[in-house]
Structure 1
Amino acid sequence: MPTNRVPKGVRGGGQFAASAHMEPDLSITNADFPSVGDADVDQLRALAESNDPLVRAEVTSSIRVPDDVLERLAEPDQPPAVRLAAVNTGYAGTADRAAEDPHPLVRAAALTGWDLSDAHRERLAHDPKVQRVMGLISH
């Protein structure tokens, strides 16, 4: 026989009713690293070396990210999510760099770039893997 979560006749009571509690005495912020939006160039360089690919991808969103850091985050040894974030910045040169990427999703993102050369645009327009990705995201 199933147990009722709230016994009959008890309004808002029972095992799963809200109860008062204290807030935890825990902070997950790191005073050495502000948010990416507030980070200076040296802090961005340090964050770009993070073991966490999501942190590296977030670095690309800073308006202060140096070109050499953005180029490093677009290199093929970076995870595809980091390279995709780099091409989606829209900074000059990112689309042409991503047009040569090994991952078709990154190349597809390059195809939408304003700075993609005509030669790369023509090649990507006929790249079957890129066209498959474009077909998947356009439906």
Structure 2
Amino acid sequence: MPTNRVPKGVRSGGQFAASAHTEPLVSIDTDFPSVGDADVEQLRALAESNDPLVRAEVTSSIRVPDDVLERLAEADQPASVRLAAVNTGYAGIADRAATDPDPLVRAAALSGWDLSDHHRERLSHDPKVQRVMGLISR
């Protein structure tokens, strides 16, 4: 059955016409500000979130304490969180990521400014890292 259409030039009516509605009954309220506005204690709490995306976002804060960043770079964190940690450029993180089980994280470590010569040489010959580098450089 065809849909009735409003003739050209008619300002109201039709399937997409504006209609009155009430305000939503649901609102989202949180005790935490955005990561950019969070203080150190709030960042510590956010770093313990069950959501890996939140933990990864914590790494982007300029206020993230070193111990929190080191915790987020540990092997028991999801690869997305470890990858976000290595991309911060904090001193020491690239060497830690150079031995990560995930080749994508190891590949990110290869671009670290503070990666030791030993790890740089090893990663430049790591076939899985080189495969990742080949995929991202296409």
Normalised TM-score (structure 1): 0.89
Amino acid in structure 2 at the alignment position of 1:88: N
2:89 alignment partner in structure 1: 90
Question: What is the rounded CA distance, in whole Å, between the counterparts of 1:99 and 1:39 in structure 2?
Answer: 30
Quote the offset at 1:135 in angstroms.
Answer: 0.6
1:21 alignment partner in structure 2: 21
1:69-88 mapped onto 2 (5 Å cutoff): 69-88=68-87
Worse-superposed segment, 20-29 or 82-91: 20-29
2:66 alignment partner in structure 1: 67
Question: What is the rounded CA distance, in whole Å, between the counterparts of 1:18 and 1:135 in structure 2?
Answer: 51
Quote the offset at 1:16 in angstroms.
Answer: 3.2
Q: CA RMSD in A?
A: 1.7
1:9 alignment partner in structure 2: 7
- The residue matched to 1:17 in structure 2 has which SS? coil
Quote the offset at 1:14 in angstroms.
Answer: 1.9
Quote the offset at 1:48 in angstroms.
Answer: 0.4
1:22-46 C-alpha deviation (Å, 9 max, x unpaired): 442433230x211111111111111
Contact 2:48–2:55 (CA under 8 A) maintained in structure 1: yes
Distance 1:91 1:113, change over 3 A: same
- The residue matched to 2:88 in structure 1 has which SS? coil
Question: What is the rounded CA distance, in whole Å, between the counterparts of 1:42 and 1:15 in structure 2?
Answer: 50
1:31-110 mapped onto 2 (5 Å cutoff): 32-110=31-109
- The residue matched to 1:68 in structure 2 has which SS? helix
Contact 2:94–2:114 (CA under 8 A) maintained in structure 1: yes
Residues matched between the structures, number: 136
Normalised TM-score (structure 2): 0.90
- The residue matched to 2:63 in structure 1 has which SS? coil
Contact 2:59–2:69 (CA under 8 A) maintained in structure 1: yes
Structure 1 gap ranges (5+)? none
Structure 2 gap ranges (5+)? none
- Structure 1 segments of 4 or more deviating over 6 A? none
